Amino acid sequence: MWVYGQIIDRYATDGYNSPKPTLEIIKEAKESGLSGLDLNYPWPEKDLTPKEVKAALDGSNLNAVCVTPVIYGQKFRSGSFSNADASLRNDAIALSEESVDVANQLGADYVKWWPGQDGYDYPFQVDYKQLREYALGGIRAVAKNNPKTQFAIEYKLKEPRNRLLWSTANASLINIAEVGVDNLGLVIDFGHSLFAKENPAEALSLIHSQGKLVDIELDDNYREWDDDLTAGAIHLVETLEFLYTVEKIGWKSPIKLDLFPYRENAMSAVKESIKTLQKLEACLDRIDMSALGKAQNAHDAMAIQAIVRDVLIA
Amino acid sequence: MWVYGQIIDRYATDGYNSPKPTLEIIKEAKESGLSGLDLNYPWPEKDLTPKEVKAALDGSNLNAVCVTPVIYGQKFRSGSFSNADASLRNDAIALSEESVDVANQLGADYVKWWPGQDGYDYPFQVDYKQLREYALGGIRAVAKNNPKTQFAIEYKLKEPRNRLLWSTANASLINIAEVGVDNLGLVIDFGHSLFAKENPAEALSLIHSQGKLVDIELDDNYREWDDDLTAGAIHLVETLEFLYTVEKIGWKSPIKLDLFPYRENAMSAVKESIKTLQKLEACLDRIDMSALGKAQNAHDAMAIQAIVRDVLIA
Amino acid sequence: MWVYGQIIDRYATDGYNSPKPTLEIIKEAKESGLSGLDLNYPWPEKDLTPKEVKAALDGSNLNAVCVTPVIYGQKFRSGSFSNADASLRNDAIALSEESVDVANQLGADYVKWWPGQDGYDYPFQVDYKQLREYALGGIRAVAKNNPKTQFAIEYKLKEPRNRLLWSTANASLINIAEVGVDNLGLVIDFGHSLFAKENPAEALSLIHSQGKLVDIELDDNYREWDDDLTAGAIHLVETLEFLYTVEKIGWKSPIKLDLFPYRENAMSAVKESIKTLQKLEACLDRIDMSALGKAQNAHDAMAIQAIVRDVLIA
Amino acid sequence: MWVYGQIIDRYATDGYNSPKPTLEIIKEAKESGLSGLDLNYPWPEKDLTPKEVKAALDGSNLNAVCVTPVIYGQKFRSGSFSNADASLRNDAIALSEESVDVANQLGADYVKWWPGQDGYDYPFQVDYKQLREYALGGIRAVAKNNPKTQFAIEYKLKEPRNRLLWSTANASLINIAEVGVDNLGLVIDFGHSLFAKENPAEALSLIHSQGKLVDIELDDNYREWDDDLTAGAIHLVETLEFLYTVEKIGWKSPIKLDLFPYRENAMSAVKESIKTLQKLEACLDRIDMSALGKAQNAHDAMAIQAIVRDVLIA
């Protein structure tokens, strides 16, 4: 929903565009060619019921992919599950429980956490063990209390906080092992993975092989920040390898887009991303998989460059 | 004024704190121990006159360091002087002229531009020569039209746009040479310089030796983003070398702070920064300048580490 | 031993200094004030026996901290345990077994692997699952075959290869869990941790809490490469926090230095590092631990800046 | 010649391959499909005369693109023109003069400096003004003494030194202005430009518009180091934009490759790079330049993504 909603940053505090009502966003999403939506909860309209949202989604033939509790706004600016203040830690848990309920009403696939304030900013600022206990403890409590609900964390290296606990694929897998529940997995975002200094295809392969893959998002950036550019705008080869890996691991669910079109028309950004991804998917079909496998077994980078060039460049 | 005003980002769109009236900010600035303020124009209150602001500053015994036209908000989100739309380019010029007038009324030392939207986001997006002509042409027009006013650009590698024209000290010096006026210089921000992959002390030395130094700002970050942490929070050695260079070039004006205390009390952030800087200034007094000069002439890094350690670490 | 040996890079292929015999390096290490050495094996002198090296160490009252098989030179340039060539994978295992034997003869504390060639360079170059199986399988084989020997991996984000399998603290902990043996842990290098975009103190705390800490190394860099500068040259606050954490987790063993003094006198680089670290250790003694704990419990960054400033800055 | 010569780094000090005689490298370059060579001077064979090299080049129908004095090896490890030692500064000048002579004998297009040791490593290590005077003074002396010779600097952000004086396109243009001669320009290397946080196409456009473009090199990397991967391996869109800009500015000379195939066959690396570049050149021919110009005038990133996708992706 971020794609279509109002975008603000610390300089353009009057926004890059105008705010839009939730029901209108649902309509616009359908027109862009999407099949599902990630819904932030609570939505801005206080009197809008889950039932009404469900009806609007159904009317547009859209799936509620997930419900994402807003644990990163003003209230939780100094931490959600890991806040120094016990009452705010409890509020993060309560809002998560509420989101489970909403997700159930909407028939959403999972509840997504993006703990973008769970971390710290300065050296010496926190006791790391205690911070982890808080951050993982809150998540453990909610996940254990709702054993039939699938939960997922979307990891990101940093922003808004300078240091986040769910920073990389590996950090998140370590955290999940420490949480110790079965219904918690990960959302991998291609751009977050680049930003985390990972190769997204390798991270995707790892998360899947550990049985923790819940969802996949696409976008692009310059590797140094979560720029949320349109998919395929910069890293064509790595996006192709990412899609190749999606296929290789047998992933069948639709892939999500996570864009922040500050200055572009949101619908155009979504459409151009989809067209680029479709063209890349078509490239995949032309790969001689046997030749590729042979070159990969030999770690032969030059043979691989030839194979990729042949299918990718017009 | 950013330090004290409301802070918002793309996630906490409801703000990290509450908005404050301009006159209250002026009061709070004084209490923090500042001697001057950088004023963004237009200020939020439409009916507040420059005269009233001047009176408030005088009443608090504060200097108007500079007036900064807001050429980076919603209106100019796709560029100010470099916008593809000629009428917006003209609006950026008009707002700058208005800011000159306000600066004169407030007795400000200079008019500061921060062209944070003048650049681009995607490869192929712009014709670079045309973009430069627009961006530099607008600045040339205003500077030539107000030959008695001092202007300054605050450079930054990126953000909000992914690529900015006034990105580094050297890029800005090249731009200034191309603008070709005498009343345009630079504001160096310690954190922007780190973010631009510069050594701030070297950049300061260069800008000064080219006669283009107008003002100096301090803060800190992790070198990968403009985190606007408190001064001295991370880079003590480089902050010390920066202050040493300020002294070496004979700079006498007060130094500014450029902080974004998202989660901290603004007044505390300013006070802690000032205390740290004062302590570092005291360290400088203990340096044996003759020994340092000798070590520098020999490029003797190990002798220098000993000298710095002796004066800096307690 | 790298500190004292000959340093070469891809440009100065004639070396930054002259090569030195192993026995002379042992002598020089003692004179610099070190208490132990990390020995690369095989050493350059083919006829030098472990017995002779042991005698030299004893004569200098030096401990053999660890033996590090050279699995990153010309022979293993395309991978050691993960090489596409099975015979080279076996050679990496054989050299490791030999190093276990040498370590036993020298009475070394552990055998250290630095798998700096185990990874890849290009997108699509390898099958990630296969690469992991090779890389972890070889290590598992050696560790299982020598259950009484302690092994440790020194992780690093990259270099020489562009992508390494043992890249970060978290990646390494995931790898160790997958290897599934008890006698394999980690060496944390302060500079590698900075380069991996970690906060070294947090990474140290995590590795220790998972029971996988084997050794600690110090140095410094600009966060973007493994520059191997002298300890405390840049990141004083984070080095102090790292030493504080060493104390907090109750670590008693001597800390190692990992420097590459390309242009400096090696003995000076070691001495200056030690002096800086000793001064920082003394700062720690002055911290009011109760006040620090209280500020950390409140995540109060400004209170912490005051505490750190008071004990650290002269 | 680096592509074909022996590659060493600080770990694989025994080299990634075997050293090759200069005359053999010339032969191999021809076979890879190159039309010219960049020759490092002095070459390793002490008794090999320029006349013999010239004959070998002529025999292979190869052009001597430039002669590059080796001012970055052991001797000059602490600086060439900027060395603290006056006699080494003079040696850098003398070797440059000798290279001019060799360039004349070989009929080379220009003499190239790569001052990879002219800079510093630690804060406080040097007096920046003095360092600049030395570094620029030596270059000025040689350029003035040989007014008919074209000189060029190849800039790079860092490595081997942590801080270099010829770091970015803009820094180099400022330096050239300060040198104040007409026969000094720049070599832009695509990968160095990425590493310097530039957009290479924009940097190329700027250098050309300032009349300082002497030569162009291609390769690729991950933006964080000078990895010297094969051209087009990662950044296809930006390589395409770079080639588009080469055409736009009307550059007719052959483009060079600057690769470091540590683990690959050098001839394959060159051939794959050339094939990829040729395919990208063919994409350029299909761009509707009028539509592109219109989209660029409107800064319309989404229209541009459609245009680029259509010609680039198969």
The B184-189 sheet, strands edge to edge:
B36-41, B63-69, B110-113, B151-154, B184-189, B213-218, B256-257
Which residues of C are less than 8 Å from A308 in CB distance?
123-124
pLDDT for C18 equals 83
Q: Which of D40-44, D89-93, D108-112 has the lowest mean pLDDT?
A: D40-44
Please write the tens of the pLDDT for every residue from D243-256.
Answer: 999 999 999 988 89
Contact residues, chain B, for C301 at CB < 8 Å: 230, 263-264
Judged by CB atoms closer than 8 Å, whether chains meet at A8 and B8 is answered as yes
Among residues C288, C231, C281, the alpha carbon closest in space to that of C251 is found at C281
pLDDT of residue A13: 81
Q: How far is CA B235 from the centre of its chain?
A: 18
Give the residue among A314, A175, A183, A191 at the shortest CA–CA distance from A259: A191
Assign C2 a pLDDT band (cuts: 50, 70, 90): low
Chain A residues with beta carbon closer than 8 angstroms to that of B225? 158-159, 225
Q: Coil, strand or helix: which one is C164? A: strand
Is pLDDT above 60 for B138? yes
Pairwise CB contact (< 8 Å): D237 & A233? yes
Helix pair angle (A169-179, C169-179), 10° resolution: 60
> Quick one: pLDDT at residue C200?
98
CB atoms C236 and B314 under 8 Å: no
Nearest-Cα distance to chain A for C188, in Å, is 16
Q: State the Cα–Cα distance between residues B64 and B59, nearest whole angstrom.
A: 12
- Work out the mean pLDDT of chain D and round it to a whole number: 95
For Cα atoms D186, D187, D189, give the angle at the middle one, nearest 5 degrees: 140
Residues 6+ apart with CB under 8 A from A188: A155, A169, A200, A203, A204, A207, A213, A215, A216, A217
The DSSP result for C230-297, as a single string, is PTTSS-HHHHHHHHHHHHHTT--SPPEE----SSS-HHHHHHHHHHHHHHHHHHHHTS-HHHHHHHHH
Residues on chain C touching D162 (C-beta within 8 angstroms):
222, 227, 229
Taking CA atoms, A89 is separated from A70, A138, C32, D274, in Å, by 13, 7, 51, 58
* Closest residue of chain B to D173, computed from CA coordinates: B174
User: Chains that contact D by 3+ CB pairs under 8 Å?
Assistant: A, B, C
- Residue B313 has its nearest CB partner, among C265, C283, C305, at C283
Q: Where are the beta strands (DSSP E) in chain D?
A: 36-41, 63-69, 110-113, 119-120, 151-154, 163-164, 184-189, 213-218, 256-257
State the count of interchain CB pairs (< 8 A) between C and D.
87
Q: pLDDT band for position D30 (50/70/90)?
A: confident
Identify the pLDDT of residue C3. 65
Which residues of chain A make contact with B73, given a CB cutoff of 8 A? 11-14
Q: How far apart are the C-alpha atoms of B110 and B112, rounded to whole Å?
A: 6
Helix (H) or strand (E) holding B213: strand B213-218
Confidence of residue B3 (pLDDT cuts 50, 70, 90): low
The alpha-carbon gap from A73 to the nearest alpha carbon of chain B, in Å, equals 4
> How confident is the model over C171-196, as a mean pLDDT?
98
List the single residue in C10, C17, C260 with the smallest CB-CB distance to D260.
C10
Question: How far is the C-alpha of B35 from the C-alpha of C1, rounded, in Å?
Answer: 54
**Beta strands at D184-189 and D213-218: parallel, antiparallel or unpaired:** parallel
Query: Across the interface, which of C15, C77, C158 has its CB nearest the CB of D12?
Result: C77
Residue that the structure tokens 């590795």 belong to: C207
CB C143 within 8 A of CB C151: yes
Distant-in-sequence contacts of C47-51, Cβ < 8 A, 24+ apart: C48/C22, C48/C23, C50/C102, C50/C105, C50/C106, C51/C105
Nearest-CB residue to B8 (from A10, A121, A234)? A10
Give me the half-sphere count of Cα atoms (radius 13 Å) on the Cβ side of residue C163: 24
d(CA D8, CA C300): 49
B chain contacts of residue A263, beta-carbon cutoff 8 Å:
77-78, 121
Q: Which residues of C33-65 are buried (b: 16+ CB within 10 A; e: fewer)?
A: ebebbbbbbebeeeeeebeebbebbeebebbbb
Chains touching chain A, criterion 3+ CB pairs below 8 Å: B, C, D
**With bands split at pLDDT 50, 70 and 90, how would you rate the model's confidence at B308?**
very high
Position of tokens 């608090």? Answer: B60
Spell out which residues of chain A touch residue D311, defining contact as CB-CB under 8 Å: 314
Which residues, listed in sequence order, are joined to residue C154 by a DSSP beta bridge? C187
Pairing of strands B119-120, B163-164: antiparallel
- Amino acid identity, position D180: G
Using a CB–CB cut-off of 8 Å, the residues of C that contact B are: 222-224, 230, 232-238, 263-265, 268-269, 272, 275-276, 279-280, 283, 286, 301-302, 305-306, 309, 311-314
CA distance A160 to D61: 58
> Is the sign of the CA dihedral A153, A156, A159, A165 positive or negative?
positive
Q: Which of D8, D230, D268 to mutate to test the interface with C (most CBs of C within 10 A)?
A: D8
The Cβ of residue D223 has, within 10 Å, a number of other Cβ atoms equal to 17
Measured CA to CA, the distance from residue A166 to residue A182 in angstroms comes to 18
Q: What distance in Å separates residue A226's CA from the closest CA in chain B?
A: 10
Residues of C in contact with B280 (CB under 8 A): 313
| Residue D49 burial (10 A CB sphere; 0-12, 13-18, 19+) | exposed
- Check: CB of residue C306 under 8 Å from CB of residue C268: no
Which residues, 6 or more positions from D1, have their beta carbon under 8 angstroms from its beta carbon?
D22, D25, D29, D37, D38, D39, D40
Cα separations in angstroms, A158 against A118, A225, A235, B233: 10, 9, 21, 18
Query: What pLDDT score does A170 carry?
Result: 98
CB B16 within 8 A of CB A10: no
- On chain C, the residues whose CB falls within 8 A of the CB of A126 are 296, 299
Q: Are A252 and A226 in contact (CB under 8 A)?
A: no
Q: Which of B65, B60, B59 is nearest to B36 (CA)?
A: B65
At D292, is the secondary structure helix, strand, or coil? Answer: helix
Q: How far apart are the first and last CA of chain B?
A: 34
Contact status, residue D65 vs residue D187, Cβ threshold 8 Å: no
C41-75 pLDDT, tens digit each: 999 999 999 999 999 999 999 999 999 999 999 99
Residue B13 to residue A234, Cβ atoms within 8 A: no
DSSP codes of every residue in A11-47: S-TT-SS----HHHHHHHHHHHT-SEEEEEES-S-TT
Contacts of B34 (CB under 8 A, 6+ apart): B62, B257, B270
Indicate whether C302 pLDDT > 60.
yes
The whole-angstrom separation of Cα D114 and Cα C24 is: 36
- pLDDT tens series, chain A, 314 aa: 556 677 788 888 888 888 889 999 998 888 888 888 999 999 999 999 999 999 999 999 999 999 999 999 999 999 999 999 999 999 999 999 999 999 999 999 999 999 999 999 999 999 999 999 999 999 999 999 999 999 999 999 999 999 999 999 999 999 999 999 999 999 999 999 999 999 999 999 999 999 999 999 999 999 999 999 999 999 999 999 999 999 999 999 889 998 888 899 988 999 999 999 999 999 999 999 999 999 999 999 999 999 999 999 99
Which of B220, B238, B305 is the best residue to mutate to test the C interface, defined by the most C CB atoms within 10 Å of its own CB? B305
Best interface-test mutation with A: which of D305, D307, D310 has the largest number of A CBs within 10 A?
A: D305
Under the phi-then-psi rule, with left for phi > 0, alpha for psi from -120 to 50, and beta for the rest, what region is C93?
alpha
Q: Tell me the one-letter amino acid at C151.
A: F
C-alpha distance from C266 to closest chain D C-alpha (Å) = 15
Task: Count Cβ atoms within 10 A of the Cβ of residue D97 and give its class: 0-12 exposed, 13-18 middle, 19 or more buried.
Answer: middle
Distance separating alpha carbons of residues D139 and D145, to the nearest angstrom: 10
Interface predicted TM-score of the whole assembly (ipTM), two decimals: 0.96
Q: Which of B160, B227, B260 has its CB closest to that of A262?
A: B160
Nearest C-alpha of chain B: how many angstroms from C272? 7
Between the alpha carbon of residue B155 and those of residues B71, B120, B182, C252, the distances in Å are 14, 15, 18, 47
Q: Once rounded to an integer, what is the mean pLDDT over residues D180-204?
A: 98
Contact B125 D241 (CB under 8 A): no
- Facing residue for D283 by CB, picked from A237, A283, A314: A314
**What is the least distance, in Å, from the CA of D193 to any CA of chain B?**
13
**Strands B110-113 and B63-69: what pairing?**
parallel
- Give per-residue pLDDT as tens, D207-238: 999 999 999 999 999 999 999 999 999 999 99
pLDDT at C147: 98
pLDDT at D149 over 80: yes
Q: Which residues of D11-35 are buried (b: 16+ CB within 10 A; e: fewer)?
A: bbbebbbeebebbebbebbbebebe
Q: Please say whether the beta carbons of B33 and B254 come within 8 A.
A: no
Task: Burial-class residue A46 by CB neighbours within 10 Å (0-12, 13-18, 19+).
Answer: exposed
